Each structure stands twice: as C-alpha cells, then as structure tokens.
Structure 1
C-alpha cells in the first residue's frame, strides 16, 4: 500500500516570499486600468470597440467579481477619448404640429447659448413690441386706414338708404337685423292700421318692394363686410409690418451669431414667422391680466411663451470625447426617458420642455454600460432596447401610452437617431439563455467577451497580481503589505481555484481579504500587514460561515451520524462529500453501504428509488453497472440484485465522485471481504475502471481529517484520491503537518483495482476471483430454482391434462 502513498514533497504548494523581488508593496506600481489574466476577454472587448458597424454590441460574460464592470468602464473611457464629442440634442416647439416636438442637433455647448438667447429675446420682445404699438407712427397709420375705409362703408349705406327712401321705405335696426319699413308722403312709418286700410293691390306692391329691398340689404351688408375685411387686412398688414420691424433685427442678429448651424438658422426663421403671426400675444392687455378666468385659462394652456423655450434634452457641453454612461439602475424611464406632467387646477398638463432624456440618449455617440440581469428584470426594457437598436432610433414615450384602452392626447416627440455601442455585463448562463431563446440577440450582440475565473500561476501573472494588491492599497488607503503577506495572498488565490497551478481572478474575494487583513494588522499593532494577519483574516472569514460544518461535526461526535474511522466492515465504506453553505464549502465523510443477494434486478440505487438522487449520481450508478457487466458477465448474465445507499442522507445526493466508493462497497459485499473504515475514498470512474478526477478534493480530505482528529488520529487513517487530482492539492497546513509526522495518509490511484487493494487489503485478482465465485454461486442457484420452477410447471400441466381426460 505504501506504493500508493503521496509523498510529502508533492503536498508543498506554498509560494515562497523569497521569489518576490520586493520587500513591501510600497515598492510596486499600481495598475488601476489594467485587468490581469483576461487576455481573451480584453482582446474581444478591444476588437468590439473598434468595429463601428450595426450589431457589434458587446456582451461581457463571466462570474461576479472578476472585474468586468471596472474594466468595461476603464476601456470605454479610454476609447471614448479618441472619439469626437457628440452634438447637443434639443427639443423645440413644432409650429406646424404642436403635439409633435422637433429634434435639433447642434454643436456641443451651443444648446446652452441658444436657450439663454431665446429667453433673452422673448423678454426683449415682450417689452419692445407693446412699445412699438404705442407709438405715434402706428396710431397715425391706423387712423389713416380707418379713415380710408370708414367713409366707404358709410357712403354705401347712405346711398342705399337714399335709394330705399325714393322707393318709399326707410331702414330700421331690429333684433332680427336691418329691415325695410314703408313710409308715407311725409316720411313717417306707415302704421299697421293704415296699412290694413289699403286696397290689396297697394299692399301687394309694398310687399314686393319690401322683399326686393330686403334682398338688396344682404348684398349691401356683404359689400360693407368686404370693406371692413379689407380694412382689417390693412390693419393686420400694418401690425405685421410693425412686428417685423421689431422682430426681424433681433432674429437676424441671432441668425448671424449661429450662421454656422443651419438647423438653428432655419428654426429662428420659423420663430420669427410665429411671433409675427401671434403679435397680439406680445401686446400687453391689462384687462386680460386682471381677469382671473382669462389668466387661469392661459395658465392651463401651459403659457403661450413656452413655445419659444429650448429643451436641452442632452447636454454634451462638458463631455470630453464620446460619452460613457454606466446605468446601474436600468428602469424603463432611466433608460429611455419620459414625458413629465404638471398638475394644475385638477388636470395634468405637459409640454415639450418636460421631455426628459434617458441613459440611452445621454450615451448617444459613445458607450452605454448596463448589467443584463438588472435590464431583464425591469418590465419592457429588453424589448424596447432591442427595438431601438434595430431601428437605430428611439422615441420618448411613457409606458402607459401603448397599453391604455382609451388613448389620451399627449405629445409624440420626434425620434432621436441612435449611434452608440452597448456593453452588457452578465453571467454565462444569461448569455446562453438569450442566445438560444432570443433570435434577435445574436444579431445585436455579435461580440462576446468571456471572462475566466482563473489564470496561470506563472511569474508574469504573479507580478501583476502583486501590482493589483498595490493598486487596492493605494486606492483604499490600506497599510502596505509585506512580501510574506503577498505570498499568503497568492496561496489564498490558488486555493480559491482549487488548483496549485492557477490564480483566481475573482478579485472581489481577494479584495475582501485585503481589507480584513488590514483590520487585523491594526489589532496586532503592525505597521506593515504580515502573513499572520492575512491568515487570520482567512480563518476568521471561514469561522463566520462554518456554523453548519460545526453542527454536522457535533452530530458525528455524538454518534448521531454514524461513522467508523477504525476497524473493517463488509459492504460498508466511507465516501466523501462536499457541503455548500453560501460562499463557504466544506467536506465531510458519508457512510455508503451495499448489500448483495440472489436475483436478477441488478444494482438498485436506493437514493434514486426514493427520488433523492440527482442525475449525475444516477449516471454514476449506471456506470457502475456497466463496469460489473464488462468485468463479470462476459460468459453468463449477472444473476444479482444489489442495493446501494448513502446512510443517513436526508437532503438528496448528486455527483459521481462516490462511484469508486460504491464499487468497492459492492465488491466487498459480493466477495465477503471487509473494507477498511479508517480510509475514506473519493473519485469517479468510467465503465472500464479508470479513475477520473473530481472536484472539492481539498475540502473532502480536510473534512475526513477533522473527523479522524476528533475521534483520535491513529496513524493508519487516510484518504484515497484520483491520481489526476494531485495538482489540485492545496491542503491546510495542519493536515500537511499531520501527514509529515505520519499521523495521516494520502493515497492516489489511477484505476479501481488499486483502490480495492488499499481498501480490502488484498490483491485485486484475489478480490475479483472471490466476486466471480459468488456470482457463479448465484447463477447456479438461479439455474436450480429455474429448473425446479419448470418442473413444477410441467407437473401442473400434466395434472391438469389428466383431470380433463377423467372429466371426458
């Protein structure tokens, strides 16, 4: 058995501080913007940022804590400095369609200037326009127009009245309007009685004349109305001329100022036309201001002069290069903007100045960083984002508008053209879910940047790892670390990966230990953090999470969980399992038993029958059955029924690392050879008996060691592991010391025969022969039983035939 023991030289994984070329981290340089051990992801991200084509958005996939967010932000900031500063995005009033505000894009910083200028000219015009209409020139021209058209209308009316009198009528104003009234020779209206005394011919003549004059009245009134309209047009033209004389110089001055931006020049032209068309709004009216009902109505309308304001939707005046927006709360409104409202007098009002931008608008022309999980868990966000990326534009609209049963009047802002790159951060699980179940995802996110959780433990990466520690120290103002403390951190990083040839890239866990070691160094009165402080931080972190481990150990100590770590038993073996309690994992032995007896049902997995077996464990038992068939059933079928169970297992079993233990227990039961209880075994196996590596090897070894330590170390106890797990051995120093002193043992195996020799303390061939003999014995018994059954069946048939003959 000693030939399978792992020598102590193979267990030393500790990194030596002498291999570092510094004494403290003070001598190192920080690497704030560099990410270590992620060459593949860094190259993918760099390439994705350089491709300026539709659909080349980036999905950064990796486990939490590998530095994705920080690196994405740093890379985006670096790349953005090479890009052009995007324009300001403005919303302005649409004078032709007020419910559809227009988008204007102007050079960065120009939006602020235009907004201030527009506010200034509106105030100026509110002073200048009323003053222009109070001047003598306007009043004189107004009187001239009135004097020109008033005599015309008077003359028309006078001539018509004279014509009516010549025909014996006068014109009289009534509630029904102007009507002809017959008069006598003295010019007085004919009374009703006098009219009744007239003969019928005379009456008929008066009626006909009256009707004719009535018809002429309508024509005369139209003529007079036409004259008045001409006068009003003249007055309107006069007002427009006065308005233009005031507005045009001011607007022209602004157009000269912004002549380089054609959009602003065109907009100012529209502003000028609108002001002139609404010149009355600028003329003060004390009566309206004093009328509370009129004032209320104007306020409800959102104030007429709001139309000349500028809504700076996206302000890039202070943006250097392209924008980088990291949206940490990607709700619908935070991403896509909203149209706000204001409650006044019991109603909600809004206007284009209340259109607010979202992260997508602010990142336009640059980069938007967002976490996939947060995005997908917010309603409507994912579909809206896809639609925006596909259409390369985004419209600001409130969520409720598209789901209302009864539509309401609201704003429909013009869509904003999009030109940005999305960097989405998420787990590999989310990436593959989207890739497999969302057809549009692969078209929109063509670049995948895969972040690994580990990197090679080589000289180059160790140097960068030390520089990273220095960066955290500088950033968070920690005490400097000694070379020994950095070496302890390197060992801790390797332990996280479960591989002595690797370093972990889960930097959040690394940083936690750095923080805690800094605190413990204060307790120890250290000026520089030592390796003892690092180890203390690791121990205390484990202690805060190992309550479940202690409870299980307590049950073992009190024999509530039955385990033997000495002696031998047939069909009973100590397997090893790993428990997961949040971010803390630990190993403990588990008793596995096997019973074999005559039958044809094969190997029964009790866990599976009780629906407590995971798929991988069930597969392992099937592999075990395949091994038995290949080893012992080449010439005759297996006449065997066997049951395998994890004793006192109440929470389910999964994984295939107990396959070797199950095979050994089953063969022990068949061969009737006892299994050593002072050795535990872990390892999966294929159908040919080759032992395969497993996970959690350190936790499993340490778990069995603690049980043996609690029950008393004998020097014979130990653990068998797969040969291919040697690189994963990073055991606690206490275990290594026990092995070095001969108090505990480690064995490695490559095939199941080696495990049998260690556990059953006999040659593998002898064990296999004993198993074959038992199986042959089962087969003979099966054959005898089958022959007896056939004989009984034949006798029953003969008796039945004789009885039938007698009846006949």
Structure 2
C-alpha cells in the first residue's frame, strides 16, 4: 500500500472552543449581582406575556420546550408578575334552589364576600334557633294563642249549649254516647223510656217525634259546621305563627340583607331563604332526634348542624380574600376531569347514594377563574375525558360539573345539575419535544384535533441553546450560573469554575458556538460540584470541582461503556486499530443510556461480486435497520451508479453489514464509511485500520455533518488508548462538524503530543486519500479516471463485472437457442 496521505489535521487548540473574555471580569460569583432575565428566551417570554395580557379569550398559550429549559418556571414567573397587577378574581358559591332542589344556584360575589356570606347564614340559622323558640314561648304568643283557642271553644260550646237549651225547652233530652249524640223525650227531669213513649197518644207521640227531628237536625247542622270552624281555627293559628315567624325571620335576616344590599343575586336568594324560613319555622321547634313539634317549642342549639337546615348552607366554591394580591395563578399537577371541572360527591345512607348542593367540590378551573391556569399537556392527554372537558369549558365559556359516569351514561344515580359557572381564564399548556427538531404534542394536536388551534392560538417556542457570540451572552450567562448556584444553596464560584461551566454548557449543546439553556442539567452539575467543594472544605467552587463532578457523573453512568471497552480489549468484539484490510472499516456509533451518551467503534465490512446492480443491506434484510439507515444505503446506490456506471449497467452485487451488531441500527452517519468500504472491496485496495470514520454522504459524494461527534471521537480514542497509542491512529470527521468539537482533555493532550489525529473531510475523496493512500481521481477530458487512481480501479472492476454479465447473458442465450 502506498504511504498514507493525510489531510490538514486539526491542532489541539481547535478541539475545544475559545471563550470570549468579555463579561468574565470577576474573581468570585458573589461579585455578580443583577438578574440577566430569561436569557435566550425573549421570544417565548414575549409570547407568554402577550397571552397573559390580551383580552381575547381564545388566545391561550402552548409552551414548547425541552425538559429542564425552565419553561414552567418562566411561564409561572411571567404570569405571577402580570397577575399581581390585575383585579382580584371574584368569589363563587353554590346555594340551594328552593324551587328546583336538584339544580343548585351559582352566585358570583365580590372578592372576600363568600366566606362572609357563609358565616352570616350560619349566624342567621343559629340566631333563629334561639329567637323562634323564644317567640313561641313569649307571653304575647301564649295570650294570642289562648285567645284563639278560647274563641274557638267558646263559639263551639255556645252553639251546642243553644241546641241543648232549645231541646230542654222543647222537652227533648240530648245524651252523649261513645258514638255521638242520642235524642229522647223528656217529661220534667226524666227521660221517657220506650214503654212510656209508646204509651203516649198518637198525636202527642207525633208532636214529640217532630220536635226530636227538629232538634236532631239542628244538632247536625252545628256538628257539620265544626270542620269549617276548625279550618278557620287552624288558619288563625297559622296566621299567628306566620306573623311571629315573619317578625323573627325579618329581624334576623335584616343584617344579612344589609351586608349584601348591592348584590342582586344574593338579595333574590335571601328573599327565597326568608320565605322558606317563614314557611318552615316549625323546624326550629323540633329537637334533634324528634319527629314533630308539640304545641310548645323545644329549644335546640347549633341547628345549622342538623340535616333539616342544610338547605340554608352556603357552599363556598372559590374564596379569593379581599386582601389577595391580584388574579390567581393556578398550577394543577393532576389534571383529572374532576380536578379540572369539579365534582359532585355522594354519601351512602341506608344503602342508597345521596347528595346535595353542599357536596359540590370545585376544580382547578374554578380556582383559576379570572386568572391563569398552568397545565402539563401530557398529563391532561393521559387522563380520561380531561382534554375533552377542558376544551368544552374553553369553547363554551362556562364550567359545567358532571361525572365521568354521567358523561358515558354508565350510571343512573339521581344527581344534581348545578348551574354552570361563567369562565374567564387563560390556559397555559406546557409541552415537550421528544426529538430535537420535533414538536410532537403541538403538531399532533394541530393535525388531529380541529378545536386545538381555535383555542390555543399562541405558540411559545423555547430555544434549547444560545449563540455565544450574540450580544454579550458570556457575562449574562455567568450571572445566570451565579443565580443557579445561589438558588441551589451552593457556595460562590471562582472565574475558572465559571469558565469550566461555560465549556461544559457548550458540550451539552453539542456546538462550540452555542450555550445550552437546559438549566436543570446545569443546576445538577453545580450541586455535584458543591458536594465535592464541601468534601474538600473549600471556601469556594473551583474548576477542579466542576471537573470532578463531570468525571464522577461519567464514572457513575460508565458501566456499560467500560464493559464495551473490555470486550474489545479481550478480542470478543473485533476491532482493528492498526494494519490494513480490504473492504473493512471502523465506523463510529453513539449509544444513549438515560441522559448519558458515549461513542463506540463498530466494524463495518463490504463484499462485492458481479451481479445485477443489487446492493444488499444486511441490517435492513434482518429488519434491524431503521428507515434513515435504509435511506443512506439507497443514496450510496445512487452515488455508485452515477459515478461509475456511466457507460454500462451497474453489474454489481454487494453486501454491507455492521459486524457483531445485534441491536437496531439507525441513522446515516455511517454512510461515508459504507461507501469507502464498498469502493475498497471493488478496487481491492486495503483500508488503514488505524483510523475510524464518521460522516453522512450525499449522492454527489459530499460529506455532511452528523451528531455526537465528540462522543464518537472519544469512543475510538479510548479503544486506542487501552491498546496503546501508536501515533498513527485517528478519526476522520466531516469538516462541518469542526465547529461542534469540545473534546475531553485526554484527547486534546494526545493530539497536542501528535499521538492521535483528527482530520476533517469535505468529500468522500478526502477520506479515500487518507485511508487508502491513493488519490480518488477525477475524470479527464477523455472521460476516464486517471490511471492509478482509486476511482479508475473501481471503474475497471465494475467494467469487468459488466463483461462477465454480458458473456453470461450471451452464453445463456446460445444455450436457449
């Protein structure tokens, strides 16, 4: 093999980003004061602020961002800042509907009034529990009741007496019996017997019978008038009770009416309460456990606790104290349907489920009414019927309360139909991305739910990172890091520690020019550094503590990585780091375990022979290759056909496989390695195994950027370092990925000592030159590749395949003839 040709290698200084010095003029972070604000999230913050301030009800906000970006904290902070200057939300109560008891009434009240109304109603009932019995025990009541009773008795007895006197004068005796009155003749003071009556003359007997009939008729008329007189008697008693009850109720309820004189709905309710209290004043004369009131009142205490007085309760749904600062900001962590719109509870009584308006419980929408509600969209979508209930409330502008059983018609228990509460709320949904470029929740809902874009018109898209060169982000970022340390309760950091944090932030972002805005990961790193600083009794956090925290984190998560290195070192997994092989190349992959990713080399091999132009991807054939990987293989096929099969069919059969790979393969970052392995097999030119390669290739042979470049380089470096660096080993990477380099110091030191090499490549020709020692070659004026170039060898081999195919076809045709 010809001597290896190398591209312009990267210097050690190019392997880590250079931090700007501006804004980092401090010794300790204690010197940094001021708030950098929501660094890098101005666009999202402005969107949330617009949603909070606009008066249009359907301008709800959907917040997009990666976990740890602070999107929840930012949303709540902005909402809280705006809410404190907005009017305090009103109170809401449910009260009994005295006309239709299963439809409780919802009443809006000024802030701070709900609890006052409830207390005043409790006081009203307790006062009446004392006042009404006292009124019915008063001398005035006793006198008037006695007068009514005496008048009734006197009138009745007077008429009876008149009948008796008339009878006596007419010579008729009236006698009381268990079954009524009996009549007989009277002579003197003696009642005629039947024999004496029969002994009378016929004329005298007829006259006596006529008199008895007249007296009997008159007595019948008197007795028939008794029910009417009793009805009048009851009316008078009821009128007396009504007058006394009215006097007591009017006196007791006057204070409540005066306290809510300006509230029309409350005044209507109090009037209904007044009428019901007067009509049911006898309830206050029934002691607990008694069934009915006697003629005299029975005093009780705490009547409001008895079931017969629950109809006068006030069920407070929302109580925003008059001293509350602004509109409510509510965050519901468990957005079930009941927790959003409220619920109706039931109690078991004698084996039957019962309920009443006092068992209506509020939901998050009630508490947030007049303010803001923050929800996690994933949690809402995972709760049955919760998303549908939320949309219905936002669409109709009111909060109906119903149960899932009613919604699905699964139960037939008698329930309540509470008045729906008018709704005025701004909902902020927090969503996540499941992929760097994929805003899954937002776009799935946009595509599948026709109501979504009508209800959530604002999209607050959080950035994942911040450009290092824009404005003065380094100083602001340093302030942000200082703020994270203070919030974590960590000690101050020196300048070197902040610079080390900036480097780690760039690595987290995967770009040497962009700082991560994942505050959660940065905060975790700071707290780990605080632990190591505390363990060493250091007065402040230094760069060494940050470095230790990074190393320990990798050590904790590195068991699988270390096992992989061990299998390679033992020869269980075959990876060559020296020598040369035809059709064999070291490709680089990245494995993700939790939030830890690491690189690992994988042997990729290619075999070729004469065929019909078929390129076999063994991974795809075994159903282990993903769609992006399959796409990369098809791109290779297009490159081969366009580059080498310009004058003859592509008479090739080739197979590609990742050796000793038993899991799913996805991505196109190995397509450059696959292409070079193929051309090596075709040209029968060995590839230098001292190098590994990563990069995506297009149909023109250009090398495109890939992800995880730092982890891939470090993964191959660790394999080489375990075996001993020879000074020839290195990695080929896309030139477009140079700006993403932020390698660990062990790799940087090895490159500085020229014991390891990192070479950028812009085209597949660059990689071919390094790995084969041959120029790839370009077509000359005659349309042929230069003699001795790799492309010439490949094309000649493919031409021979075409000749073999052609001769085989002729032979097959001759045999057929």
TM more than 0.5: yes
1:455 equivalent among 434, 455, 466 = 466
Give the whole-Å Cα distance in 2 for the aligned partners of 1:625 and 1:190. 139
1:26 equivalent to 2:49? Answer no
1:156–1:224 Cα contact (<8 Å) kept: no
Cα 1:126–1:434 change in 2 (3 A) is same
Cα 1:531–1:91 change in 2 (3 A) is same
Greater mean deviation of Cα atoms: 143-152 or 762-771: 143-152
1:613 equivalent to 2:634? Answer no
* Structure 1 residue aligned with 2:17: 13
Give the whole-Å Cα distance in 1 for the aligned partners of 2:171 and 2:731. 136
Partner deviation per Cα, 1:401-436 (whole Å, 9 max, x = no partner): 445655223333222111111111111322222222
2:518 equivalent among 506, 509, 517 = 506
Greater mean deviation of Cα atoms: 527-536 or 352-361: 352-361
**Offset at 1:699?**
0.7
* Structure 1 residue aligned with 2:308: 304
Cα 1:253–1:522 change in 2 (3 A) is closer
Give the whole-Å Cα distance in 1 for the aligned partners of 2:398 and 2:491. 50
Partner deviation per Cα, 1:681-701 (whole Å, 9 max, x = no partner): 111111111111111111111
**Offset at 1:3?**
3.6
SS of alignment partner, residue 716 of structure 1: coil
* Structure 2 residue aligned with 1:53: 56
**Offset at 1:788?**
0.9
* Structure 2 residue aligned with 1:481: 493
* Structure 2 residue aligned with 1:241: 243
Partner deviation per Cα, 1:336-387 (whole Å, 9 max, x = no partner): 2223344566655543233222221111100111111222222221111111
Give the whole-Å Cα distance in 2 for the aligned partners of 1:215 and 1:627. 128
**Offset at 1:19?**
5.9
1:62 equivalent to 2:58? Answer no
1:377 equivalent among 372, 378, 382 = 382
Cα 1:396–1:167 change in 2 (3 A) is farther
Cα 1:696–1:405 change in 2 (3 A) is closer
* Structure 2 residue aligned with 1:569: 581
2:171–2:185 Cα contact (<8 Å) kept: no
Report matched runs for 1:489-638 at 5 Å.
489-638=501-650
Give the whole-Å Cα distance in 1 for the aligned partners of 2:475 and 2:690. 43
Runs of at least 5 residues in structure 2 that lack an aligned partner in the other structure: 199-204, 433-438, 778-788
1:704 equivalent to 2:716? Answer yes
1:769 equivalent among 792, 798, 804 = 792
* Structure 2 residue aligned with 1:93: 96
Give the whole-Å Cα distance in 2 for the aligned partners of 1:153 and 1:514. 100
Cα 1:161–1:549 change in 2 (3 A) is farther
Cα 1:434–1:299 change in 2 (3 A) is farther
Give the whole-Å Cα distance in 2 for the aligned partners of 1:337 and 1:155. 66
Greater mean deviation of Cα atoms: 427-436 or 362-371: 427-436
**Offset at 1:124?**
1.7
* Structure 2 residue aligned with 1:409: 414
2:369–2:423 Cα contact (<8 Å) kept: yes
Give the whole-Å Cα distance in 2 for the aligned partners of 1:287 and 1:497. 73
Give the whole-Å Cα distance in 2 for the aligned partners of 1:544 and 1:172. 109
Cα 1:288–1:523 change in 2 (3 A) is closer
Cα 1:434–1:520 change in 2 (3 A) is same
**Offset at 1:185?**
8.4
* Structure 2 residue aligned with 1:659: 671
SS of alignment partner, residue 591 of structure 2: strand
**Offset at 1:104?**
1.6
**Offset at 1:662?**
0.7
Runs of at least 5 residues in structure 1 that lack an aligned partner in the other structure: 196-201, 795-808
1:397 equivalent to 2:402? Answer yes
- The aligned length equals 777
2:7–2:766 Cα contact (<8 Å) kept: no
**Offset at 1:38?**
1.2
Greater mean deviation of Cα atoms: 101-110 or 766-775: 101-110
* Structure 1 residue aligned with 2:369: 364
Give the whole-Å Cα distance in 2 for the aligned partners of 1:87 and 1:402. 29
* Structure 1 residue aligned with 2:226: 224
**Offset at 1:91?**
1.7
1:110 equivalent among 104, 113, 117 = 113
SS of alignment partner, residue 764 of structure 1: coil
**Offset at 1:745?**
0.9
1:30–1:470 Cα contact (<8 Å) kept: no
Give the whole-Å Cα distance in 1 for the aligned partners of 2:706 and 2:725. 26
Cα 1:456–1:21 change in 2 (3 A) is same
Cα 1:651–1:284 change in 2 (3 A) is closer
How high is the TM-score relative to the length of structure 2?
0.88
1:261 equivalent to 2:263? Answer yes
* Structure 2 residue aligned with 1:798: none
2:605–2:657 Cα contact (<8 Å) kept: yes
1:80–1:323 Cα contact (<8 Å) kept: yes
1:432 equivalent among 439, 443, 447 = 443
1:30–1:471 Cα contact (<8 Å) kept: no
How high is the TM-score relative to the length of structure 1?
0.89
1:61–1:425 Cα contact (<8 Å) kept: yes
More helix, by proportion: 1
Give the whole-Å Cα distance in 1 for the aligned partners of 2:514 and 2:744. 17
Give the whole-Å Cα distance in 2 for the aligned partners of 1:299 and 1:284. 10
Partner deviation per Cα, 1:204-256 (whole Å, 9 max, x = no partner): xx9xx99xx99996x87664322222221121111111122222123223322
Partner deviation per Cα, 1:143-172 (whole Å, 9 max, x = no partner): 333333444455666788999999999898
* Structure 1 residue aligned with 2:772: 760
